[in-house]
Amino acid sequence: MRPEILFALFTDIKTLPGIGAKTRFLYEKLAGTRLIDLIYHLPSACIDRRAMPSIMDMKDGIVATSIVQIEEHIPPARPRDKNSPFKVRCYNETGFLTLVFFRAYPDYLKKQLPIGEKRAISGKVERFGGEVQIAHPDYIEPVSRLKDIQKIEPVYPLTAGLGQKNLRKSLTAALDKTPNLPEWIDPFFMKRNNWQSWKKSLLKAHNPETDAEIESSPAKNRLAYDELLASQLALKIVRKHVSHVKGRSIKGGGDLRQKLLEKLPFKLTNGQEEVIKQIHADQESEERMMRLLQGDVGSGKTVVALFSALNAVEAGKQAAIMAPTEILAGQHYKWISEITDEIGINIGYLVGSIKGKQRAQLLEQLENGEIDLLIGTHALFQDKVIFKNLGLAIIDEQHRFGVNQRLSLANKGQNIDMLLMTATPIPRTLTLAMYGDMEVSLLKDKPAGRKEINTKVLPASKIDPILDGIGRVIEKGQKTYWICPLVEESELIDLAAAENRYNEFRRVFGHNKVGLVHGKMPTNERQEVMLKFRDGEIDLLVATTVIEVGVDVKDATVIVIEHAERFGLSQLHQLRGRVGRNDMNSSCILLYHALGEIAKERLTIMRESNDGFYLAEEDLRLRGGGEVLGTKQSGLPNFKIANLTEHFDLLKAANDDSKLIMQTDPDLQTTRGKALRTLLYLFEYDSQMKYLKVG
C-alpha cells in the first residue's frame, strides 16, 4: 500500500486552479496528469529580469526591465495587413523605447498602457531601424509591482497551446501541495555532497539562479540520486528474492571438462579461464546464479557456455542453450556436437521446424533425462518441453528475448541457474542501470590468431574501385557482405535500394554468385540464402541489418556498409564482426553519402578502434541511452531527472549504497528503511515491495 504521506502527490492535476479538461490534455502531453509528474518537470533555462539598464545602453537580444512613461499609441501603418504592427511609444530619462504588438487589440492596449501613465515593462530587446524595441513584452505591470517582475524566472519546456505563465502558476500550486518527506539518504553522504532535504531540493531546482544550475546543482544532483537509489534498491530487492529462493549447489567432477580441454583446437584465453572460474563459483554456491556475460564480437562466449553446461551435466543435471534464431541455434548445435564428439554426452536440438515423430521422440528423451544438453530457439520454453532435472539455462543474445520469455525457461526447473550472454557490449552505466540485480562478467580478449579488421571510411563515389576489389576477393575464394541500411521511416525505399543493389551486382558478378536477405522475407527463405552463403554456393550477400547476429561464415573477409553515417557505433561494430572470424586479413568499408559533424566523429572512431567496449561507451556519449539500445529496447528505467552519463558517479554510489542497505536492513524496517520504502513508492516500484516483509 502506498503510504498516506504520498497521496497528495498522486492526485490528478485537475485539482489545481486553472486546469480544466482542455488544459489537462495539454499537461498530459507535456508531463503527465498527476502532481508527481508535474513537480518533476524541471526548467530547461532561466531568465534574469533584475537588470535595469538605461534604454540607450540596451543591447540587442538581452532581456531587460524598465520603468517607462507612455507617450503615444501608433496604429498600424496598413490596417488591413496583419503583419503591420501596432506600436506604443514610451520614454524615460535614459531614452525612448517602442513596444511592438502584432495582431493587436487596440482597446485592450489603451487600457493596459494609458497615455501619460508609467508602467514597469520586461521583455527581450531588439534594435530595429535605429529604434530600441520590445515586441510583445512578457510583463506590463503597474510600477508598484516592479519587485514582482525583478527576479530570476525559470523557463520550462512547453507543448503547443500551453504558455510559461500558466505552467508556472500550476507548478507553484503543485509545489505548495507537496509534503515534506522523511529523509532516506545517509546523513554523512548528504553532508558530503552539500545536499538539502527532498522538498527544499525540489523547490531550489524549480528556482535556479543561473543557467549553470540548470545543468548541474546540488539540488538537481540530489533529486537525480533519489531516482538512481530507488532504481538500484528495487533491482537489489528482486535480486535478493530470486537468489534467496534457495539455489542448488552444482559441482561436477571435472572429467567431461578435462576431455573438452584436451579436444579444443585452441588454448583458452586468460579472459575465458577467468570467466569460467567465476561461473563455476556461482554454480557451486547455494545461491541461485544470475550472471550476465558480455563478450565482444568473436571473444569465444560459446566455449565458456559449454564449460558451464558440462559442469552441470557432470553433477547429474541437464543444461539448455537458447538462441534467438534457428541459424544461430543450429550453429551452436553443429559446433558443440563436433567438439564434444566422443566426450560422452547426449545433445538434443529443438527448433520450430522440427515436428512430428522426431519432435515427440526428442521430448520423451528429454523428460526421461536421456538428453544432457538441449540447444534450441523459443521452442525450448513451450509447455510440452519438460526437463527431468534442468540445472542451468543459458540464453544467448539475451536482449533479443523479453523478460517473460527468460522467466519461462527459468521455470522449467527448480531454482535453476541462469547465464545470460550478449555479443553487444553494454556501457557500464547502462549495465548498472539495467542489470544491477546481476553479477556481470566481461570477456574482452580475442582468441589467438585473430587479426584486427582493417576499417576504411570512403565516400559513395568510390563504389567502382570497391566493386573491382570485391571481384578480386571472389577470385581468391573469399566472401563479401554488402549491407544496405533499413530504417522504419523509409522501409520501402531502403528495401528497394537493397533490391537494386542485388540486381546490379548479379549483372556484374553473375546471377548465381549473389544472394539477398532482408527482414521482409519469410524466415525459412532467409535462412536458406544464409546457409548457401556459408556453404560456398553464394560469394556476395546483399543484406539489410538482419545479418547483425547470425550465421558464422569463416571465409567472409570483406564487409561493405552503405550509408554508414546512419548507423550507431555499436551496430556498426556488430556488423563489422561478421568478418575477421579467421586468421585471414579482413576489411570493413564504411561508405558514406552525407556526413555531418557527429557522423564524421562516429566513423573516425570506428576506423581507429576495434574495441567493442570502448565503442559502446563512445556510442552512449554521442547518442544517449535510448538510442544506443534502440528506442524499443525494454529494460532501461525511464529516468525523469537522472542522466546516466552525467550522473555515473551517483549511479555507482547508489549501487554501493543499495548493496549495503540490503546487507544491514534487508526488509527496510529501521527508521531509514521505512523512509526508503516511501522512496520506492514515490518512484512507483510498488511491485518490488511485495518481496519485503510488512513493516
Q: What mean pLDDT is predicted for residues 158-165?
A: 90
Q: Which of 150, 167, 199 is the last residue of a domain?
A: 150
pLDDT tens figures, 284-330: 998 888 899 998 777 889 999 999 999 999 999 999 999 888 888 88
Contact 398, 292 (CB under 8 A): yes
Q: Which of 377, 412, 443 is the last residue of a domain?
A: 443
Beta strand 95-101 pairing with 514-517: unpaired
Q: What cell was used for 296? A: 565482444
With cut-offs at 50, 70 and 90, classify the pLDDT of residue 237.
confident
- What distance in Å separates the CA atoms of residue 283 and residue 97, rounded to the nearest whole number? 79
Main-chain dihedrals φ then ψ at residue 17, nearest 5 degrees: -65, 140
Confidence label for 631 from pLDDT (cuts 50, 70 and 90): very low
- Domain membership of residue 158 (yes or no) is no
Q: How far apart are CA 216 and CA 193, in angstroms?
A: 13
Mean pLDDT of the 669-684 span: 96
pLDDT value at residue 306: 96
For residues 19 and 638, the model is more confident at: 19
Judged against a pLDDT cut of 80, whether residue 424 lies above it is answered with: no
Is residue 231 a part of any domain in this protein? no
Closest-CA residue to 152 (of 213, 217, 195): 213
Statement to judge: residues 433 and 300 lie in one domain = yes
371: left (phi over 0), alpha (psi -120 to 50) or beta: beta
402 pLDDT band, cuts 50/70/90, is low
Please report whether residue 674 resides in a domain. Answer: no
Nearest CA-CA partner of 585 in 452, 467, 415: 452
Does residue 247 form part of some domain?
A: no
Q: What is the DSSP letter of 694?
A: P
Dist. CA 90–CA 112, nearest whole Å: 13
Same-domain check for residues 297 and 411: yes
* Single pTM value for the model: 0.71
* Residue 488 in this model has a pLDDT that exceeds 50: no
pLDDT band at 437 (very low <50, low <70, confident <90, very high): low
d(Cα 639, Cα 108) in Å, to the nearest integer?
Answer: 45
- Considering the domain boundaries, does residue 85 fall inside one? yes
Residues 403, 467: one domain? no
Give the pLDDT mean for 489-503.
71
Looking at 88, 118, 150, the residue that finishes a domain is: 150
Q: Is the pLDDT of residue 527 over 90?
A: no
- Same domain, yes or no, for 437 and 473? no
Q: Are 206 and 171 in contact (CB under 8 A)?
A: yes
Q: Is the same domain home to 479 and 357?
A: no
Both 409 and 509 in one domain: the answer is: no
> Structural domain tally of the chain?
3
Quick one: pLDDT band at residue 514, thresholds 50, 70, 90?
very high
> In this predicted model, what pLDDT tens digit does every residue of 44-102 receive, in sequence order?
999 999 999 999 999 999 999 999 999 999 999 888 887 889 999 999 999 999 999 99
Helix axes 428-435, 612-623, angle to 10 degrees: 80
In a domain, 511, yes or no: yes
Q: What cell does 268 get?
A: 583458452
pLDDT tops 80 at residue 203: yes
Contacts 24+ apart (CB under 8 A), 257-264: 257/307, 257/310, 257/311, 257/314, 259/343, 259/344, 260/306, 260/307, 260/310, 260/339, 260/340, 260/343, 263/339, 263/340, 263/342, 263/343, 264/303, 264/339
Given pLDDT bands bounded at 50, 70 and 90, which one contains residue 108? very high
| CATH code of the domain in which 138 resides | 2.40.50.140
Answer yes or no: do 459 and 439 share one domain: no
From the list 2, 13, 3, 4, the residue with the least C-alpha distance to 40 is 13
**What is the domain extent for residue 96?**
50-150
Cα separation, 453 vs 112, in Å, equals: 72
Residues 485 and 370 in one domain: no
Transcribe 347-359 into DSSP letters: EEEE-TT--HHHH
SS3 (DSSP) at 482: strand
Kindly report the CATH number assigned to the domain that includes residue 319.
3.40.50.300
Same domain for 428 and 282: yes
| Same domain flag for 547 and 401 | no
| Average pLDDT value for the chain | 88
Cell of 643: 542522466
Residue 468 lies in a domain: yes
- Asked whether residue 439 falls in the same domain as residue 466, the answer is no
204-218 tens-digit pLDDT: 999 998 888 988 899
Is 481 among the domain residues? Answer: yes
Q: In terms of domains, do 479 and 342 share one?
A: no
